[in-house]
Amino acid sequence: MERRIIALLQKRDEHVLQEIRQAYGGLCYSLAYNMLGNREDAEECVNDMLLAVWNSVPPHDPVSLEAYLVTLVRRAAMDRLKHDTRRKRGGRQFAEALDELSDVLPSGEYVESAVEQRELSRALKAFLDSLPPDTRHIFMLRYYMSDSVRQIAEKMGMQQSAVKMSLLRTRNKLKEYLGKEGLL
């Protein structure tokens, strides 16, 4: 299905946008809503993602369309967070997830340069690759997809306390790993 959608994007067939919305709209909307806590803003982020994919795919074919779309909607939601007062409107779930990682990830001043960002990204990828699949999935659901602990527990068929413990242990391992890499 991804190859077909990319081919339609390359042909500039406008009907492909509806196909993208049908195939990936729910996932993208869920991510934006988890980050923003507002239905209208989440829908707007999905629309921004559709525009961005329409404008970017012909010269650049993504390796994974789903990952590319999720990245685009995350960027749209992050941009909206910068401009909105989300605390007044809800959306605390994403802020809470980031707060959980604040003791693990380096400060903003350290990460400002592009070289340091790439090094941190490389280290995070290597760390995630070293995790067992279920642990990695739980971590990604929380810190990339901004799912709540309850949502993760339901998706994984686990107790919420087990999800919390897995996240705590993984954050501790990440802190240790980044320390060894000299990134803290």
Would you list the domain boundaries of the chain? 2-90, 93-180
Answer whether residue 95 shows pLDDT above 80: no
Per DSSP, the three-state class of 149 is helix
Which pLDDT band holds residue 107 (cuts at 50, 70, 90)? low
The answer to whether the 2-90 and 93-180 domains have the same CATH topology is: no
The predicted pLDDT at position 109 comes to 46
Answer whether residue 106 shows pLDDT above 90: no
Q: Given 3.40.50.10300, 1.10.1740.10, 3.30.70.1060, 3.30.1360.120, which CATH number is that of 2-90?
A: 1.10.1740.10
Higher pLDDT, 161 or 178: 161
CB neighbourhood size of 173 (10 A): 16
pTM, two decimals, is 0.61
- Minimum mean pLDDT range among 12-16, 45-49, 52-56, 98-102: 98-102
What are the Cα distances from residue 40, in Å, to 5, 45, 80, 113, 133? 26, 9, 12, 34, 34
Q: Report how far residue 54's alpha carbon sits from residue 68's, in angstroms, rounded to the nearest whole number.
A: 12
Token pair, residue 80, equals 């909206």
The predicted pLDDT at position 139 comes to 93
Token pair, residue 112, equals 């400002």
Give percent above pLDDT 90 in the chain: 40
DSSP symbol at 91: -
Half-sphere exposure for 105 (CA within 13 Å, toward CB): 18
Which fold, 93-180? Arc Repressor Mutant, subunit A (1.10.10)
Contact 128, 136 (CB under 8 A): yes
Q: Looking at 49-145, which runs of residues are DSSP E strands?
A: none
Mean pLDDT within 6-29: 91
Mean pLDDT within 75-80: 86
CA angle 179, 183, 184 (to 5 degrees): 60
Mean pLDDT within 84-110: 58
Higher pLDDT, 114 or 101: 101
